[in-house]
Amino acid sequence: MSAAGLIPRNSLAWLLTAQVVVLLPHLPRLPWWVALLWVGCALWRVQIQRMRWHSPGILLKSAALVAILLGVFLTQGTLLGLDATVMFLLLLFMLKLLEMHNPRDALVVVYLGFFILATAFLFDQGIPLTLYQCGSLLVLVAALVGLQQSAGRNDPARALRIGGVMLLQAIPLLLVLFIFFPRLEPLWSVNMPGGSSKTGLSDTMSPADIANLARSPELAFRASFDGEIPPLSTLYWRALTLSRFDGRSWSQDRLLNNLPALPLDTSGESVEYRVVAGASGQHWVYSLRGATTDNPALRRMHDFNLQSIAPLNSTFGYRARSYVNVQMQAEPLSKLERARQLELPQQGDPRAREWAQALREQHPDDGDLVQAVLGYFNQQPFFYTLKPTPLGEHSNDEFLFDTRRGFCEHYAGAMTFVLRAAGIPSRIVAGYQGGEVNEQGGYVLVHQFDAHVWVEVWLAGRGWVSVDPTFQVAPERIEQGLEEAVRGEGSFLEDSYLSGSRYRGVTWLNDARLAWDNVNYQWQLRVLNFKGEEQMGLFRRWLGTADWQRVGMVVLGLAGGIMLLQAMWWLRPQRMNGSAQQRVWKRLDQRLARLRLQALPGEGPRAWQQRLQVALPAQRSVIDSFFDEFVRQSYAATDSASKADQQQLQQALRALFKVIPRKRPASASYLLQDGPLSSRDKSL
């Protein structure tokens, strides 16, 4: 390959550095061969630079494209979706190294780096990644600067410094756009990866689902209240209701979910709160009993739960008001709904069905029968455990009369089955119970191990009434949390050795964990959740209106003012007046004025040089180098110095700045002017 096909060596170094910092956040989610591929592309690019290898031809590039498509498909199982698309883009970004032939191609690689940098936020919007990406952004901007440097004038420190200055200049305009730019809904749908133990609740409940969540320390959501935080034992966070039973699993009833929302009495006592939930990829959100909201992104469902219109693909915050003592659907159930809430499989669990009929004969009143079932759980030797005995075909029979060991899913599922068999409409409510109070931030943290299910029973004249059979067996689970309920068996987060929640008994460690969580909560609340509703509220408080025409005028005024101030700063007379040599002379004069070794009135460069040689003998060689270059450029035949000459003079000045002492040497005292100090000296 000829030299014309090469890019400058320093440009290649910047490209490789930029690619490394941009790709690093993605590597933990990718297979090992992706990192190996980048190493191979980088080595090949270096060999091309050394003119030992050739660039790949059209056939090889076509084969590489087919290979990475196949690799993405085998790894992700599809060529569509978030993970597959980002992975494909990353692989093309790597292969672009082999396609570069000139500096323009190098610029394209850097521009792609900005886009790759943004894709990392599709998977994580936390503070650590944000800080890391700020550093990555600095490297990319510095790479753009470095690509403009010639091979002989390559200065990485200067490129980083210029890049940092450029980013600092952009911060004021960035803040204006962040606050005032309209929040638009994403133009694509993101399919969030992960299973139930990571993303949270599922719309079906099978044996061991809740137990798996109970072993996960992942955070589900945070909630803050207007006023005092209610007792944790009263916080039953509803997410969804499960009404369909196939003999093994409970699931949502799509037919009932599509019924219109029922009216809710809002005249009673209420509690207001704000919830900030993480991305789950699901529609359900979390609320207390009898919830209402003004958020247009949410709707109230027929089962009195709140639901998001769009899947939660990013951090989502909302305000809600709950009427905790309200009667829900006190009017008689429709024939359709009553039939659906009594439906059971034709076969299975014969002993539970017989017991339900016996209870019905003993307790004609529905309320008395419900209390009888709760009393059975309370009086018989049931045990709450995250390590239950596996159940067979007739799971409810075996649990109620044989093993009697289980967690909330077993108790709620068995009770709902028995009540339906006795002719009482009932359903399971899935969500979370309790939480952990963060005293530093004044809010409640709800983790996946707080996942819980309970029972809702429809009673004539009272509507849907919540009952919790788990409370009859393990009241400490409701009043003190899961950790206390399973303390005896030691199963709390037993597989999560690095989880801070596991070591809540260590005071200093727990305080540090809560302090960091408070920082993350404020980040989510003030930054990630600064969307439509929050933005409109800010406009009303600051501007007295949310009219976009007025907001637009404010944005144009602020942006124009910022750019005008920056232009005035960069075009100020002190910066623009004089030649490059005169500006360098002034900078050195100001620096040496601190030592009272500034240039004297009418003093020429050689005279000043001789004075400095005597005052600073240890720095004589650096002083001579600077003044020799200064004199050469100042008295050259051309009217203005070239860019390369200006850079060389700047380098000589920086070298001199590095060796100038902080304090004036005693040997320099006799070199000062006699008599009164000049006006400039008085200002020192």
Rounded Cα–Cα distance for residues 660 and 656 (Å)? 6
Instruction: Compute, in degrees rounded to 10, the torsion defined by CA atoms 530, 541, 291, 187.
Output: -30
The residue among 523, 524, 551 whose CA lies nearest residue 537 is: 551
Copy the structure tokens of residue 75.
């790894």
Catalytic residue among 283, 410, 447, 452: 452
**Distance separating alpha carbons of residues 603 and 600, to the nearest angstrom:** 5
Question: Residue 405 corresponds to which tokens in the numbers above?
Answer: 């060991």
Q: Which of 83, 349, 366, 468 is catalytic?
A: 468
Residue in 48, 55, 43 with CA at minimum distance from that of residue 99 = 55
CA-closest candidate to residue 376, choices 344, 395, 348, 399:
399
Nearest to 93 by CA among 41, 31, 29: 41
- Active site (annotated) includes residue 26: no
Q: What is residue 437's three-state secondary structure?
A: strand
C-alpha distance across the termini of the chain, in Å: 61
Contacts within 8 Å (CB) and 24+ apart, 495-500: 495/215, 496/215, 496/216, 496/217, 499/217, 500/217
Enumerate long-range contacts of 25-29, CB under 8 Å, 24 or more apart: 25/120, 25/124, 25/129, 25/132, 25/133, 26/86, 26/90, 26/116, 26/119, 26/120, 29/83, 29/123
Element (H, E) at 516: helix 507-523
What is the enclosing helix (H) or strand (E) of 307? strand 306-308
Q: Which of 209, 408, 410, 447 is labelled catalytic?
A: 408
Q: How far apart are the C-alpha atoms of 112 and 19, rounded to whole Å?
A: 10
Return the sign of the alpha-carbon dihedral for residues 82, 85, 88, 89: negative
- Whether residue 414 contacts residue 405, with contact meaning beta carbons closer than 8 Å, is answered with no
User: In sequence order, what are the residues at sequence separation of 6 or more whose Cβ sits closer than 8 angstroms to the Cβ of residue 375?
Assistant: 472
Alpha-carbon distance values, 40 to 27, 80, 94, 98, 282 (Å): 16, 26, 10, 10, 40
- CA torsion angle for 194, 198, 204, 210 (degrees, to 10)? 150
Mark whether 468 is an active-site residue.
yes
Q: Which residues contact 132 (CB under 8 A, 6 or more apart)?
A: 25
Contact 477, 470 (CB under 8 A): yes
CB 83 within 8 A of CB 29: yes
Q: What are phi and psi of 32, to 5 degrees?
A: -60, -30
C-alpha–C-alpha distance, residues 247 and 269, integer Å: 40
For residue 556, which phi and psi values (nearest 5 degrees)?
-65, -40
Q: Find where tokens 């959501």 sit.
A: 221
Structural tokens at position 340: 């659906």
Asked if 502 and 493 count as a contact pair (C-beta separation under 8 A), the reply is yes
Can you give the length of the chain in residues? Answer: 684
Nearest-angstrom CA–CA distance, 294 and 597? 70
Whether 624 is catalytic: no
Please list the active-site residues: 408, 452, 468
